[in-house]
């Protein structure tokens, strides 16, 4: 399985409701130090990279952050197990 197979895919939650497109895959290391994907960043509209403003914490310049926020409104993290990857 490749990252390019997952990123950009349109996905649904387990109940069948649309979540949007996959924008990023968030990993955390397990006890062996291997990086497991634990959460999926989904965004309603955007294709392509989110420029880094989606990361937590204060990002500057303020104006660009606001624009990015408005463009990508609805972007959120969903636990891996809540995502249904089967293509419609």
Partner 1 sequence: MTDKPLRVDFDLLDRQIVDLDGYLVGKVDDIEFGTAADGRPVVAAILVGHHALGRRIGGVLGRWMAAVARRLHTTGDPQPLRIPFERVAKIGSALWLDVRHELLDTPALELWLRDNVIGRIPGASDAGQ
Partner 2 sequence: MKRFLAVTLGILTAIGGFVDIGDLVANGETGARFGMRLAWVVVVGVLGICLYAEMSGRVAAVSGRPVFDLVRERLGARVALANLAGSYLVTLLTLSAEIGGVALAIQLATSVHYLLWVPIAAFVLWVVLWKVKFEPMERVFGLAGLALVVFVVALIALDPPWGQLGDQIANPVPPATEDWATYGFFAVALFAAAMTPYEVFFFSSGGVEEKWTRRDLVISRVNVFIGFPLGGVLSLAVMGCAAVVYEPLGVHVDTLGQTALPVAMAVGKLGLVVVILGFFAATFGAALETGLSAGYTVAQYFGWQWGKLVRPRQAARFHTVVLISVLLGVALLLTTADPIAITEYSLVFSAVALPLTYLPILIVANDRDYLGDHVNSPFTNVLGVTYLVIILVVAVAAVPLMIVTGMGS
**Which chain residues interact with partner 2 by CB under 8 A?**
48-49, 51-52, 59-64
Q: Which of 33, 31, 32, 50 is nearest to 41 (CA)?
A: 50
Q: Which CB sits closer to partner 2, 49 or 73?
A: 49
**7, 23 Cβ separation under 8 angstroms:** yes
Q: Which CB sits closer to partner 2, 16 or 52?
A: 52
Q: Is 13 in the site for partner 1 (CB under 8 A)?
A: no
Q: Pick from partner 2, partner 1, none: which does 71 bind, CB < 5 to 8 A by kind?
A: none
Residues between 41 and 70 with contacts to partner 1, criterion CB under 8 A: 41, 49-50, 52, 54-55
Least Cβ distance, residue 36 to partner 1 (angstroms): 5
Distance (Å, whole) CA 7 – CA 67: 23
Calculate the CA dihedral of residues 72, 15, 27, 76 and round it to 10 degrees: 20
């Amino acid at each position: 399985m490749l990252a390019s197979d997952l990123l950009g895919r349109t996905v649904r939650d387990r109940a069948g409701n649309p979540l949007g497109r996959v924008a990023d895959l968030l990993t955390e290391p397990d006890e062996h130090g291997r990086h497991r994907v634990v959460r999926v960043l989904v965004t309603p509209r955007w294709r392509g990279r989110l420029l880094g403003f989606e990361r937590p914490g204060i990002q500057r310049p303020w104006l660009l952050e606001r624009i990015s926020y408005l463009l990508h409104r609805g972007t959120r993290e969903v636990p891996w197990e809540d995502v249904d990857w089967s293509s419609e």
